[in-house]
Amino acid sequence: MSKATTVYFSHGKESGPWGIKITYLGKIAEAHGLNVKSIDYRETLDPDKRVRKLKSILEKETSNIILAGSSMGGYVSAVTANDIDVQGLFLIAPALYFKRFKVADYVPRTDNTYVIHGWDDDIVPVERSQKFSKINKATMQLLDGGHTLNDQLQPMGDFFQQFLNNCAPNHAEQSQQ
């Protein structure tokens, strides 16, 4: 029997742990046979305090780990994946390469990194995700949308399903055995 896998979602700067995207993608992960947790970071807007919180939670984790993050949560997930082996890293319009953030070099410890970003994002320039994806040879999808991509749930979900099939293949079948 294989070790359980848990998807840890990290929300954006001003959203919450069970916003539209996380709720939608969480259902897809659960249907895939994965455990789902979403961290509540609302007590701080400091991205590096959020990184420390996630790392503290993961120190106690005994399952395989998949990280998924949106906007500032993408930064939190990417920085955490620099230091912790993960099965996969899924980033939605990640807030990367901001000068005011402590970390600006991202080398995730995984072979499964997917990035999704909206062409019309006016918060995080799409070029930042393109730079990250090129450096890390990440699979990237660009959508016709802005920063939240809340109007692009179906294509985002399809891309997330593809990601899960690559980093946690047949997990739903294994968990039912």
Dihedral of CA atoms 55, 59, 61, 62 in degrees, nearest 10, equals 140
Q: Does domain 5-176 have CATH number 3.40.50.1820?
A: yes
Report, as an integer, the average pLDDT of 121-136: 97
Give the side-chain half-sphere CA count within 13 A for 153: 12
**Contact between residue 55 and residue 79 where contact means Cβ atoms under 8 Å apart:** no
Measured between alpha carbons, how far is residue 105 from residues 7, 17, 22, 35, 56 in Å?
Answer: 23, 26, 26, 29, 21
- The answer, yes or no, to whether residue 135 has pLDDT greater than 90, is yes
Nearest to 34 by CA among 72, 7, 13: 7
pTM of the model: 0.94
Confidence of residue 171 (pLDDT cuts 50, 70, 90): low
Over range 138-151, report the average pLDDT: 96
Non-local (6+) Cβ contacts of 18 within 8 A are: 26, 38
Sign of the dihedral defined by the CA atoms of residues 126, 109, 13, 144, in that order:
positive
The full set of domain ranges for the chain reads: 5-176
pLDDT tens digits along 22-69: 999 999 999 999 999 999 999 999 999 999 999 999 998 888 999 999
Q: How far apart are CA 171 and CA 63, in angstroms?
A: 13
What's the pLDDT at 177? 40
Q: Kindly tell me if the per-residue pLDDT of 150 is higher than 70.
A: yes
pLDDT in tens, 74-120: 999 999 999 999 999 999 999 999 999 999 999 999 999 999 999 99
**Beta strands 35-39; 64-70: pairing state:** unpaired
Give the H or E element holding residue 122.
none
